[in-house]
Structure 1
Amino acid sequence: MAKQGAFKSSALGRILIALTMTFFVCVTTMSTAGASAGTASDNPDFTAQARGLGLTGAQARSLQSRADDYLAKTGGTQVSVNEIRVKAGAVLTLALPGEKYARNLDGKAGANSAQAYACPYGSLCAYSLRNYEGDAFDIRCTYISMPWSGNGSWHNNQVTGRKAFFYDSNFNLGWTSPGASSWDADAPWGWVYWLSATAC
């Protein structure tokens, strides 16, 4: 009886070990697949986009490295060579290598590389650098985790009268903007950990 119980226990143990190992293999495989997804070298669409924009291989790799860094900080999904959909209502557009301003590649806001990303009506936009230069967040009816430090800029172009809310690392409200339309071409991001548009 004792031997039979020991046999059952060891057989059950082997089954549990086999199931555990299978689980870890599946998780590792999915993690590895997820980690490589979305990079320029793995996504033919992004590679073709970079080539079509006239970017060199080094520029394309540099842009993708920036995108990967943002993805690690903000999460979301890369939807083009220079655009990340962070969440519903929040899109991050990266300035292309050698360009001052972020621009959409579909001919919408900021389509001209010589002009600042034009914040669409209804949005709160935040920029990584002063004077609306650098990478640009377009936020509607939601909030984002701020990935920048140093000084940048913002344009509150939400529906008239709506405000933008700036929060510190403890999610304490530190400052509220004037109602739309309002802006600041030289704003400190160092203390801002969260930026919120008015809820819709």
Structure 2
Amino acid sequence: MTVQGNARSSAAGRIVVAMMVTFFAFAATTGSAGASADGGRPDFSAQARGLGLTSSQAETLQARADGYLARTGGTQVAVNKIELQAGAVLLLALPGEKYARDLTGKSGARTATYCPYDWMCAYSGTGYSGDQINMYYCNLRYGIPWYGDGSWHNNQSAGTRAEFFDTNGNLGWTSPGAESWDDVAPWGWVGSISPC
């Protein structure tokens, strides 16, 4: 009997060990499915593939997102979307596309001048093209990471004025009241914008 008891104990032990190894292997693979190789941020490669981006395009887009994250902080929540400080979102134009669009919203479609009502929007390119920062809250300054010419659209409630601050934090210019816009605006001197 003792020999059988030890054999059963040993077999049961092997089963338990095998189950634990299987469980931990499964947990490790499912736990990292959404993480990148460095484990520090989600992996958006499946989303990029779903959009029809090539591996090279996905890598280029991620490199742009990484550059913005290094300069502006924030949290990347989609292949082309970074949530910045309270009330601001940075949208990246997809490779081959002229305008940024929110892929996580109800509609991915947008027009060249799209800026949600009650928001102040800044664009990296002229004519409301390129990457886009949407800013909402008054009395907060949102950093502008661009140089060269871009554009902006103040689509806040009627009469609301946006303040443009230089790289030293000094008020350099105040926009006309909403709704107002500039399809060719120099970003070189702008360090931040307060929507109102």
Common topology (TM > 0.5):
yes
Q: Distance in 2 between matches of 1:138 and 1:78?
A: 15
Q: Distance in 2 between matches of 1:37 and 1:158?
A: 36
Q: In structure 1, what is the equivalent of residue 133 of structure 2?
A: 137
CA RMSD of aligned residues (A): 1.7
User: Offset of 1:107 from its aligned partner?
Assistant: 4.5
Q: In structure 2, what is the equivalent of residue 127 of structure 1?
A: 123
Q: Tell me: CA distance 1:130–1:108, structure 2 relative to 1, closer, same or farther (3 Å).
A: farther
Identity %: 58
Q: In structure 2, what is the equivalent of residue 93 of structure 1?
A: 91
Matched AA of 1:147 = P
Matched AA of 2:102 = N
Q: In structure 1, what is the equivalent of residue 184 of structure 2?
A: 186
String of CA shifts for 1:27-74, please: whole Å, max 9, x gaps. xxxxxx9x7522xxxx34x11110100000000000000000000000
Q: In structure 2, what is the equivalent of residue 112 of structure 1?
A: 109
The answer as to whether partners of 1:86 and 1:92 remain within 8 angstroms in 2 is yes
The answer as to whether partners of 1:77 and 1:85 remain within 8 angstroms in 2 is yes
Q: Distance in 2 between matches of 1:75 and 1:102?
A: 19
The answer as to whether partners of 1:89 and 1:139 remain within 8 angstroms in 2 is yes
Q: Tell me: CA distance 1:145–1:117, structure 2 relative to 1, closer, same or farther (3 Å).
A: same
Matched AA of 1:112 = A
Gaps of 5+ in 2: 1-35
Matched AA of 2:109 = N
Gaps of 5+ in 1: 1-32
Radius of gyration: which is bigger?
2
Aligned pair count? 158
Q: In structure 2, what is the equivalent of residue 66 of structure 1?
A: 64
Q: Distance in 2 between matches of 1:117 and 1:73?
A: 26
Q: Distance in 2 between matches of 1:137 and 1:78?
A: 14
Q: Structure 1 residue runs of 4+, over 6 Å off?
A: none
Matches within 5 A, 1:43-58: 43-44=42-43, 46-58=44-56
The answer as to whether partners of 1:95 and 1:135 remain within 8 angstroms in 2 is yes
Q: Tell me: CA distance 1:123–1:80, structure 2 relative to 1, closer, same or farther (3 Å).
A: same
String of CA shifts for 1:6-33, please: whole Å, max 9, x gaps. xxxxxxxxxxxxxxxxxxxxxxxxxxx9
The answer as to whether partners of 1:123 and 1:139 remain within 8 angstroms in 2 is yes
User: Offset of 1:116 from its aligned partner?
Assistant: 1.9
Matched AA of 1:53 = L
The two structures have a TM-score, normalised by structure 1, of 0.75
